[in-house]
Structure 1
Amino acid sequence: MRVMVLVKATDDSEKGDFPEPWTTEMMVAMGRFNDELRRAGILVMADGLKPSSHGKRVAFEGAARTVVDGPFAATSELAAGFWLWDVKDMDEAVAWVKRCPNPMPGPSEIEIRPLYEMADLQRG
């Protein structure tokens, strides 16, 4: 089962401003965690995202396309980073997330979403 593990954005991540020594300590801890994921054969991909002020959205309505520049509202609904994991099931994904270092200097959330597999899309 493949899952997308989303680190939810915070006001700090949207500012792109993380205090030292927290940044260095978090990067070391996250590096160790990613190494564990690699050794377990779970990690497919991982990366952090720049603040939404660096992003764009493209809105679709019929044939029309409208480009919207960031930053975007509702910070808690934005992603600040992600992993793509290949796990046995959702329970295994939850167990790994519970082992993860806190990715933010304060309270934070990580969301786990399963990816569609071909079997999910076949009609029968």
Structure 2
Amino acid sequence: MSRLILVVSFFIFSFNCSSHNQNYDELVISELNESFEDILSYKKEGNIIFLEIKIIGEIQGDAILELYDVRGKGPYTKIKLNGRVDKIYNTEWYEPNLKIKYKPLSKINGGSLVLRYKMN
């Protein structure tokens, strides 16, 4: 009986986690030694009032991630990145696009980062 409860609990937990992660779009940053810019876009219909970015990974060096609106106004925030990264950034946001700028601040000896983001 306890084994059945464990199996059912596992499937419920797995379903909840997988459906929760489906709400996020994802950007993988694997070349950490080069600066770059990108636009994160909201791909659904409706009004936007909220932005959440989860930054996960590891970076062997120092870098910064800056957030701008698409007209270049900002940066609204600067997120320092080094070592093991597990950060969440939340804010009010009313536009369907967000410009990000990634800049290494030192030589990066390896790692990769994943940005999971959603706008609601």
Return the structure number with greater helix share.
1
Identify the structure with bigger relative contact order (alpha carbons < 8 Å, sequence gap 6+).
1
Return the structure number with greater strand share.
2
TM value normalised by structure 2:
0.34
TM value normalised by structure 1:
0.33
